[in-house]
C-alpha cells in the first residue's frame, strides 16, 4: 500500500466519487429518456439493498435537491414550487423536487425518471408528506417502512420490547417484498439479495473505518466537504459491487494519508465537529470560513444520520437475508434518529474520541427534524463539558436565508475566542 | 405508597348551579387559564398527572392507573424560558408547551409525546434534558396499512402502560382498562352529540362555546367532563337562539396548535362552524371502542380502523383531501376555512392539496395562517367578512 506514489492515491476518493455520481445520474437519465420507472427512496433507511435485487433504478430526491443548491440554481426551483402554492416555510428539498417534477424530471445533472414506487421510513416525517405529493401526482405506490425509535434516552428497553419492534419491521419488509414482486413480476432472488448485503457489509465496515480514521492528527478528510462526496456514493451505490470497491479504495487512500501524516489543511489548528445539515447554497465558502482560521471539521453528526446509521458498521447475515435486513434496518435507522434527537449524547463521545477543540451547531430553516433540538442540545452539552460551541443558522437550500456576512462575523468571533482560550491554556501550562 | 384521588373530588365545582351562559363564561376562563387550576387541585389531592402532547393519546391507559391525563396544547403565554431551548423557524406550540412545564404552571409526573412531525418529535429528548420526571415517546404506527400494525400497536400500548404503572405505582388490570374504556366511550358519544348539534342546529351553540366544551376534556377528569357535556347538551335544546342566514363552514387546520379562542369567536360571528378539526385528538376515535376481551388490542384496533384523519398521519384508506370533502358534505357546509399554524410544515403542505381538491370540487375556501399567541385580528376579520359576503351575494 505504501509503495504507491502520492499522485496515484491522493484525491482518488473525491475524483472517483464524483465520477460515480455522474455515471449514476447518467443511468437515471437513460431510464427517464426510455420512459422507465424508478423507486424513490431516502437516505435514512433506503432499503436499496432490497430494491436493487429487483433491478429497480433508485432515485434519491434528497440528493437531487441538494445538487440544485450546490450548482447554485436551487432558487429557481424553490420559486417555481412556491408559485405552485408551497409555503416559503416548508422543506426546501421538497420544493426543489416538486419543481423537478413540474419540469418533467428536468434537473441540472440530467433527467429524473418518474416514481412508480416510493419507499420511505419514518426517520423524517417530511419523507411521508413528500411521498404523498408523488402519490397524488402519479398515483405512485407509497410504502412507509415504520421503524420505531428510541422511546427514552434514559430508560432501556427489554428484550421482549425489542423483539416486538423487530417483528414489526420484519413483517413490513416482507410486505414490501410482496409489493416489489407484484410490481416487477419477479420473485425475490435470495442469492442476489445476499450478494447485495455482502457488498453493503463491506461498505458499512469501510464507512465505520473512515469515520474512525479522522481521529488521527491531522484529520485525513474534511467531514463537511469530502464527507459529503463519500456520503453520496454510500447512499446511491449502496449494496453494489462498484460501491463496495470504491470504499475499499477509499479506506486504502485514507489509511495511506494517516500513515504518512497527510492532512487536508496546511495547519490543522482547531479540530471541530459539525452538527446539523450543511449549507449547500454556499457549500465551498461556508467551509472556507473555517479553514481560513485553521479550523478543520474532523467529524459530523451528518455523516452518521445521513448515512442511514452506517456508522454502526452493521454486518448483515447473507444466509438469513430478510431477517438480517430487518434487524440492520431497525438498528441503523434508529441510530440515525438518535444522532439527530440525542445529538448531545453523541457529542459526548466525539469530543474525546476526536480530541475536539470546538463544536459548531448549524440548525437550518428547511429541516426541523435535525434542527429543532440543537439549541437545547448545545445548552445541555455546555452544562456538562467545557468546550467552546458556535450556533449559526442558515439553510441547506434557500439562499434567501443565508447571510454570508453575518455567518462570517459569528465564525470569526468564534475563532478569536478559540485563540484566546488556547493562549490562556498555554500560559497556565 | 399509591396516591389516588377520591373519585368524588370535584376539581372544578364552580360551574354547578349556574345558568348556561354563566357556566360557559366560567368554563371559557378555565380553558384559557395558563396556570391549569384543575391540574393543581388534582395534584393537591395527591393525584398524579400524565401530560401528553398533541395529537392523540389513549388516555384510557392513564385513567385506568388513576392518573389525570392532560392534553398539552400550548398556550398564549410568552415563551420566555423555552425560547432559548429552540432555534428559529419553529411553530409556537412547541415553545409554549415547554414554557408551561419550565415555569411550573403545568406540573407533571410523566410526559408523553409522539413523532407527529419533524419538530414535535424532538420534544421527547428536550423534555428529558430539561425536566426531572420521565419523558417517553409513544410510537403510534406510521404504517397503519401494514397487517402487522395492530399487533405492534398493542405491544406499544403495553410498553406505555408499564411506564405509567411505574409512575403511578400501581398495577392496572384488564377490568380497570375496560372500565376506563367504557367511561371514555360515554365521552366519545357525548362529543358526537355535541358535533351533531353543531351540524344540525349551529345557532344553538357558538363556535367558541363548542370549542371550550371539547377542550375541557384535556384538563378535567373524564367523569367530570362527561357531567359538563351531558348537562350542557340537555340545556341547549331549550336555548333561546334565533337561526340566522350565515355561511356554513368547515374549519380545517387546527389538529395541533390551536387558534386563539378570540379567532374562533371571530369566525363564529360571521359563519356557522358546522365541523372542524379543533383538538381532533380528543375526538380521534370516531366510534366506540369494544369493551371486554383484550382491552389493549381493542384500543389498537380502534386506532387503526375507527379513527379520524389529520395531516400527520398517512393512511392509504383515508386520502386527506377526500376526507375533507366528506367532512364538508356530511356537515352540509357551503365553504371551508383552511388554516395552518405558522411554521407548521404538515399543515402548510396539506393546504396545497386541500385548495386544489376544493378548486376541483368548486367549493369556496378561505386560506389563512394563525399563531396561538396572535393578538391582532382586525385584518383577518375584514378578509373573512369579504369572503363571506362574496358567497352570500354571489
Who among A128, A365, A372 is closest to B122 (CB)?
A372
Who among A122, A142, A393 is closest to B115 (CB)?
A122
Q: Is the pLDDT of residue B88 over 90?
A: no
Q: Is the pLDDT of residue B128 over 70?
A: yes
Q: Is B81 on the interface with A (CB under 8 A)?
A: no
What pLDDT does residue B3 have? 55
Greatest CA span in chain A, whole angstroms?
Answer: 72
- Rounded to an integer, what distance in angstroms lies between the CA atom of residue B351 and that of residue B369? 10
Per-residue confidence at B394, pLDDT binned at 50, 70, 90? Answer: confident
Q: Is the pLDDT of residue B1 over 80?
A: no
Question: Do A341 and B116 lie within an 8 Å CB cutoff?
Answer: no
pLDDT in tens, B181-209: 999 999 999 999 999 999 999 999 999 99
Grid cell digits, residue B298 = 381493542
pLDDT 10s digit of each residue in chain A, 429 long? 445 567 789 999 999 999 999 999 999 999 999 999 899 999 999 999 999 999 999 999 999 999 999 999 999 999 999 999 999 999 999 999 999 999 999 999 999 999 999 999 999 999 999 999 999 999 999 999 999 999 999 998 999 999 999 999 999 999 999 999 999 999 999 999 999 999 999 999 999 999 999 999 999 999 999 999 999 999 999 999 999 999 999 999 999 999 999 998 878 999 999 999 999 999 999 999 999 999 999 999 999 999 999 999 999 999 999 999 999 999 999 999 999 999 999 999 999 999 999 999 999 999 999 999 999 999 999 999 999 999 999 999 999 999 999 999 999 999 999 999 999 999 998
Question: Do A89 and B352 lie within an 8 Å CB cutoff?
Answer: no
DSSP A275: E
Who among B86, B116, B159 is closest to A372 (CB)?
B86
CA–CA–CA angle A56, A60, A61 (5° rounding): 130
User: What phi and psi values does residue B59 have, to the nearest 5 degrees?
Assistant: -65, -20
pLDDT in tens, B300-316: 999 999 999 999 999 99
Question: Do A368 and B349 lie within an 8 Å CB cutoff?
Answer: no
- Rounded to an integer, what distance in angstroms lies between the CA atom of residue A199 and that of residue B60? 48
Strand partners, A391: A361
Residues 152-211 in B contacting A (C-alpha not used; CB under 8 Å): 152, 155-156, 159, 163
Residues 70-129 in A contacting B (C-alpha not used; CB under 8 Å): 84-87, 89-91, 94, 122, 124-126, 128-129
Question: Do B85 and A149 lie within an 8 Å CB cutoff?
Answer: no
What pLDDT does residue A2 have? 44
- Rounded to an integer, what distance in angstroms lies between the CA atom of residue A272 and that of residue A265? 13
Query: Strand, helix or coil at A283?
Result: helix
Grid cell digits, residue B87 = 432555534
In this prediction, residues B166-171 reach a mean pLDDT of: 97
E strand or H helix at A252: helix A241-259
Per-residue confidence at B2, pLDDT binned at 50, 70, 90? Answer: low
Grid cell digits, residue B6 = 377520591
Residues 347-366 in B contacting A (C-alpha not used; CB under 8 Å): 348-353, 355-356
Grid cell digits, residue B125 = 429528548
Distance from CA of A307 to the nearest CA of B (A): 18
Pairing of the two strands A106-107 and A110-111: antiparallel
Interface with chain B: mutation pick from A151, A179, A330, highest number of B CBs within 10 Å: A151
Query: Given the C-alpha cell 467552546, which residue does it identify?
Result: A388
Q: Is A212 on the interface with B (CB under 8 A)?
A: no
Q: Is B343 on the interface with A (CB under 8 A)?
A: yes
- Rounded to an integer, what distance in angstroms lies between the CA atom of residue A82 and that of residue A76? 10
Q: Is the pLDDT of residue B363 over 70?
A: yes
Distance from CA of B309 to the nearest CA of A (A): 14
Contact partners, residue B173, CB within 8 Å, separation at least 6: none
Question: Do A124 and B118 lie within an 8 Å CB cutoff?
Answer: yes
From chain A, the residues in CB contact with B360 under 8 A are: none
Question: Do A144 and B142 lie within an 8 Å CB cutoff?
Answer: yes
Per-residue confidence at B364, pLDDT binned at 50, 70, 90? Answer: very high
- Rounded to an integer, what distance in angstroms lies between the CA atom of residue A354 and that of residue B145? 44
Distance from CA of A9 to the nearest CA of B (A): 41
Report helix angle A241-259 to A226-236, nearest 10. 150
Who among A85, A167, A344 is closest to B352 (CB)?
A85
Question: Do B94 and A136 lie within an 8 Å CB cutoff?
Answer: no
From chain A, the residues in CB contact with B155 under 8 A are: 161, 164, 168
Q: Are A328 and A316 contacting, i.e. CB atoms less than 8 angstroms apart? A: yes
Distance from CA of A397 to the nearest CA of B (A): 15
Taking alpha carbons only, the member of A218, A250, A227, A282 closest to residue A75 is A282
In B, minimum Cα distance to A91 occurs at B345
Who among B155, B342, B345 is closest to A91 (CB)?
B345
In A, minimum Cα distance to B86 occurs at A375
Q: Is A377 on the interface with B (CB under 8 A)?
A: yes
A184 or B392, which is more confident: A184
From chain A, the residues in CB contact with B94 under 8 A are: 372
Q: Is the pLDDT of residue B155 over 60?
A: yes
In B, minimum Cα distance to A124 occurs at B118
Question: Do B351 and A85 lie within an 8 Å CB cutoff?
Answer: yes
- Rounded to an integer, what distance in angstroms lies between the CA atom of residue B229 and that of residue B233? 6
Who among A86, A372, A375 is closest to B119 (CB)?
A372
Question: Do B126 and A376 lie within an 8 Å CB cutoff?
Answer: yes
Who among B87, B148, B345 is closest to A172 (CB)?
B148
In A, minimum Cα distance to B316 occurs at A142
Q: Is A371 on the interface with B (CB under 8 A)?
A: yes
Distance from CA of B285 to the nearest CA of A (A): 22
Q: Are A145 and A169 contacting, i.e. CB atoms less than 8 angstroms apart? A: yes
Question: Do B152 and A167 lie within an 8 Å CB cutoff?
Answer: yes
User: What phi and psi values does residue B74 have, to the nearest 5 degrees?
Assistant: 75, -165
Beta strands in A58-188 (DSSP E): 58-59, 106-107, 110-111, 114-121, 141-145
Question: Do B129 and A376 lie within an 8 Å CB cutoff?
Answer: yes
Q: Is B49 on the interface with A (CB under 8 A)?
A: no
Grid cell digits, residue B15 = 360551574
Residues 252-311 in B contacting A (C-alpha not used; CB under 8 Å): 311
- Rounded to an integer, what distance in angstroms lies between the CA atom of residue A334 and that of residue A336? 5
Query: Given the C-alpha cell 440515525, which residue does it identify?
Result: A336
Q: Is A385 on the interface with B (CB under 8 A)?
A: no
Please report, for residues A236, B14, B269, B273, the alpha-carbon distance to residue A62 in angstroms, rounded to integers and kept in the order given: 11, 56, 45, 40
Grid cell digits, residue A20 = 460515480
What percent of chain B lies above the pLDDT cut of 70? 99
In A, minimum Cα distance to B110 occurs at A152
From chain B, the residues in CB contact with A363 under 8 A are: 87-88
From chain B, the residues in CB contact with A129 under 8 A are: 311, 345-346, 349-350
Question: Do A142 and B316 lie within an 8 Å CB cutoff?
Answer: yes
Taking alpha carbons only, the member of A349, A357, A313, A355 closest to residue A215 is A355
Number of neighbours of residue A178 by Cβ within 10 angstroms: 11
In this prediction, residues B276-294 reach a mean pLDDT of: 97
Average pLDDT, chain B: 96
Distance from CA of B300 to the nearest CA of A (A): 14
Who among B89, B125, B345 is closest to A341 (CB)?
B125
Greatest CA span in chain B, whole angstroms?
Answer: 67
Distance from CA of B359 to the nearest CA of A (A): 13
- Rounded to an integer, what distance in angstroms lies between the CA atom of residue B260 and that of residue B257? 9
pLDDT in tens, B42-56: 999 999 999 999 999
Who among A146, A168, A341 is closest to B121 (CB)?
A341
In this prediction, residues B367-386 reach a mean pLDDT of: 95
Question: Do A365 and B155 lie within an 8 Å CB cutoff?
Answer: no
Question: Do A377 and B139 lie within an 8 Å CB cutoff?
Answer: no
In A, minimum Cα distance to B115 occurs at A125
Amino acid at each position: 500500500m505504501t509503495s504507491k506514489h502520492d499522485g496515484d492515491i491522493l484525491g482518488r476518493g473525491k475524483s472517483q466519487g464524483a465520477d460515480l455520481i455522474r455515471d449514476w445520474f447518467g443511468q437515471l437519465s437513460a431510464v427517464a429518456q426510455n420512459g422507465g420507472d424508478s423507486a424513490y427512496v431516502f437516505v435514512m433507511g433506503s432499503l436499496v439493498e432490497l430494491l436493487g435485487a429487483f433491478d429497480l433504478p433508485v432515485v434519491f430526491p434528497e440528493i437531487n435537491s441538494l445538487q440544485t443548491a450546490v450548482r447554485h440554481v436551487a432558487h429557481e426551483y424553490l420559486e417555481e414550487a412556491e408559485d405552485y402554492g408551497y409555503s416559503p416555510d416548508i422543506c426546501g428539498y421538497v420544493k426543489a423536487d416538486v419543481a423537478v417534477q413540474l419540469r418533467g424530471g428536468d434537473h441540472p445533472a440530467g433527467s429524473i425518471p418518474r416514481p412508480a414506487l416510493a419507499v420511505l421510513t419514518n426517520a423524517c416525517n417530511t419523507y411521508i408528506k413528500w411521498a404523498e405529493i408523488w402519490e397524488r401526482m402519479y398515483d405512485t405506490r407509497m410504502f412507509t417502512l415504520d421503524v420505531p425509535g428510541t422511546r427514552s434516552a434514559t430508560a432501556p428497553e427489554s428484550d421482549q420490547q425489542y423483539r416486538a419492534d423487530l417483528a414489526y419491521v420484519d413483517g413490513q419488509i416482507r410486505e414490501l417484498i410482496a409489493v416489489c414482486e407484484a410490481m416487477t413480476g419477479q420473485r425475490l432472488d435470495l442469492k442476489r439479495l445476499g450478494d447485495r448485503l455482502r457488498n453493503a457489509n463491506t461498505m458499512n465496515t469501510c464507512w465505520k473505518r473512515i469515520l474512525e480514521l479522522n481521529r488521527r492528527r491531522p484529520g485525513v478528510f474534511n467531514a463537511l466537504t469530502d464527507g459529503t462526496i463519500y456520503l453520496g456514493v454510500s447512499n446511491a451505490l449502496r449494496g453494489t459491487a462498484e460501491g463496495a470497491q470504491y470504499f475499499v479504495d477509499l479506506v486504502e487512500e485514507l489509511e495511506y494519508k494517516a500513515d504518512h501524516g497527510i492532512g487536508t489543511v496546511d495547519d490543522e489548528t482547531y479540530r471541530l465537529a459539525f452538527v446539523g445539515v450543511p449549507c449547500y447554497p454556499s457549500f465551498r465558502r461556508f467551509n472556507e470560513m473555517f479553514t481560513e482560521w485553521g479550523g478543520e471539521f474532523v467529524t459530523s453528526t451528518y455523516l452518521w444520520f445521513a448515512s442511514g446509521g452506517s456508522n454502526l458498521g452493521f454486518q448483515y447475515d447473507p444466509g438469513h437475508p430478510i431477517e438480517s435486513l430487518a434487524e440492520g434496518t431497525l438498528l441503523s435507522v434508529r441510530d440515525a434518529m438518535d444522532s439527530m434527537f440525542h445529538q448531545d449524547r453523541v457529542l459526548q463521545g466525539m469530543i474525546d474520541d476526536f480530541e475536539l477543540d470546538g463544536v459548531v451547531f448549524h440548525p437550518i430553516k428547511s429541516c426541523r427534524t435535525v434542527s429543532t433540538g440543537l439549541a437545547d442540545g448545545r445548552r445541555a452539552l455546555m452544562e456538562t463539558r467545557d468546550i467552546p460551541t458556535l450556533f449559526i443558522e442558515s439553510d441547506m437550500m434557500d439562499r434567501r436565508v443565508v447571510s454570508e456576512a453575518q455567518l462570517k462575523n459569528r465564525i470569526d468571533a468564534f475563532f478569536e475566542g478559540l485563540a484566546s482560550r488556547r493562549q490562556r491554556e498555554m500560559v497556565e501550562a | 405508597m399509591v396516591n389516588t384521588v377520591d373519585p368524588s373530588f370535584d376539581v372544578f365545582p364552580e360551574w354547578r348551579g349556574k345558568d348556561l351562559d354563566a357556566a360557559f363564561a366560567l368554563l371559557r376562563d378555565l380553558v384559557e387559564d395558563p396556570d391549569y387550576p384543575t391540574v393543581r387541585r388534582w395534584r393537591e389531592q395527591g393525584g398524579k398527572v400524565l401530560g401528553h402532547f398533541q395529537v392523540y393519546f389513549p388516555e384510557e391507559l392513564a385513567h385506568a392507573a388513576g392518573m389525570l391525563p392532560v392534553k398539552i396544547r400550548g398556550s398564549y403565554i410568552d415563551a420566555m424560558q423555552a425560547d432559548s431551548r429552540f432555534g428559529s423557524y419553529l411553530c409556537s406550540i412547541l415553545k409554549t408547551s415547554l414554557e408551561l412545564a419550565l415555569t411550573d404552571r403545568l406540573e407533571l409526573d410523566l410526559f408523553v409525546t409522539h413523532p407527529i412531525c419533524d419538530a414535535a418529535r424532538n420534544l421527547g429528548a428536550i423534555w428529558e434534558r430539561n425536566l426531572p420526571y420521565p419523558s417517553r415517546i409513544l410510537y403510534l404506527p406510521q404504517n397503519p396499512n401494514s397487517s402487522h400494525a395492530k399487533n405492534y400497536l398493542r405491544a406499544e400500548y403495553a410498553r406505555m402502560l408499564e411506564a405509567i404503572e411505574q409512575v403511578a405505582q400501581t398495577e392496572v388490570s384488564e377490568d380497570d382498562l375496560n372500565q376506563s374504556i367504557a367511561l371514555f366511550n360515554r365521552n366519545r358519544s357525548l362529543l358526537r352529540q355535541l358535533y351533531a348539534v353543531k351540524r344540525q342546529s349551529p345557532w344553538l351553540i357558538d363556535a367558541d362555546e363548542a370549542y371550550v366544551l371539547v377542550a375541557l376534556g384535556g384538563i378535567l377528569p373524564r367523569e367530570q367532563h362527561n357531567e359538563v357535556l351531558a348537562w350542557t347538551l340537555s340545556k341547549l335544546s331549550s336555548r333561546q337562539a334565533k337561526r340566522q342566514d350565515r355561511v356554513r363552514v368547515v374549519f380545517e387546520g387546527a389538529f395541533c396548535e390551536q387558534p386563539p379562542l378570540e379567532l374562533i369567536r371571530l369566525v363564529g360571528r360571521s359563519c356557522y362552524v358546522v365541523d372542524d378539526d379543533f383538538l381532533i385528538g380528543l375526538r380521534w376515535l370516531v366510534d366506540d371502542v369494544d369493551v371486554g376481551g383484550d382491552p389493549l388490542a381493542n384500543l389498537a384496533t380502534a386506532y387503526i380502523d375507527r379513527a379520524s384523519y389529520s395531516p400527520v398521519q398517512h393512511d392509504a384508506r383515508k386520502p386527506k383531501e377526500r376526507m375533507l370533502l366528506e367532512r364538508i358534505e356530511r356537515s352540509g357546509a357551503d365553504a371551508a376555512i383552511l388554516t395552518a399554524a405558522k411554521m407548521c410544515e404538515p399543515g402548510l403542505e396539506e393546504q396545497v392539496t386541500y385548495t386544489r381538491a376544493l378548486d376541483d370540487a368548486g367549493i369556496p375556501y378561505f386560506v389563512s395562517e394563525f399563531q396561538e399567541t396572535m393578538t391582532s385580528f382586525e385584518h383577518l376579520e375584514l378578509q373573512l367578512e369579504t369572503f363571506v359576503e362574496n358567497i352570500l351575494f354571489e
